[in-house]
């Protein structure tokens, strides 16, 4: 536990707990983490269950995608058809990439974002290079 706490302290650049005459008291950052952990653990548990049980053929998920207008109409249409070929029961919602797309991706309001170019990606997001313009 002490190694894990040391890594957390280093990662958050915060002691997380301070000693008082009544024992240990969480710092503001420590309290924020403590308050957030139950939801994070539930979300992680649900994600693991979904990943273990995901079957594209039987999925009826609603997939929300933001796409930069640079890609025009052809690419989103082809993507839509390919996704429906793999997972015929899903619904797909697309929207144009906007100034709040990154926050929507982080907050889970969007499942996928396709943009060009994309710089300074927050660490909460995973990126994949799809193509090179030549």
CATH number of the domain where residue 11 is located? 1.10.10.10
Collect the ranges in the chain with pLDDT lower than 70.
1, 51-54, 131-134
CA separation for the pair 100, 98 (Å, rounded):
5
Domain with 95 in it: what CATH number? Answer: 3.40.190.10
Identify the domain containing residue 83 by its residue range.
56-134
Cis preceding-peptide flag for 117 (omega within 30 of 0): yes
- The total number of structural domains that make up the chain: 2
CA 40 to chain centre: 12
Summarize pLDDT for 82-99 with one digit per residue, the tens.
899 989 999 999 999 999
Cβ of 48: how many Cβ atoms within 10 Å?
A: 10
* The pLDDT of residue 133: 59
Q: What is the pTM of this model?
A: 0.57
Q: Nearest-CA neighbor of 110 among 125, 90, 131, 129?
A: 125
Cβ of 87: how many Cβ atoms within 10 Å?
A: 19
Give the β-pairing of 17-20 and 23-26. Answer: antiparallel
Both 62 and 41 in one domain: the answer is no
Both 63 and 49 in one domain: the answer is no
For the chain, the helix, strand and coil percentages under 3-state DSSP, each to the nearest 5: 45, 15, 40
CA separation for the pair 28, 46 (Å, rounded):
28
């Amino acid at each position: 536990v002490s190694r894990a706490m040391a890594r957390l302290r280093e990662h958050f650049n915060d002691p997380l707990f301070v000693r008082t005459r009544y024992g240990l008291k969480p710092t503001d950052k420590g309290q924020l983490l403590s308050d957030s952990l139950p939801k994070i653990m539930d979300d992680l548990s649900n994600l693991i269950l979904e990943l273990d049980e995901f079957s594209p053929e039987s999925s009826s998920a609603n997939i929300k995608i933001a796409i930069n207008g640079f890609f025009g109409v052809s690419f989103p249409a082809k993507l839509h058809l390919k996704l429906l070929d793999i997972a015929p029961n899903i619904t797909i919602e697309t929207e144009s990439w906007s100034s709040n797309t990154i926050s929507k991706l982080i907050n889970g309001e969007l499942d996928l974002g396709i943009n060009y170019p994309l710089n300074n990606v927050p660490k909460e997001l995973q990126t994949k290079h799809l193509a090179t313009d030549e």
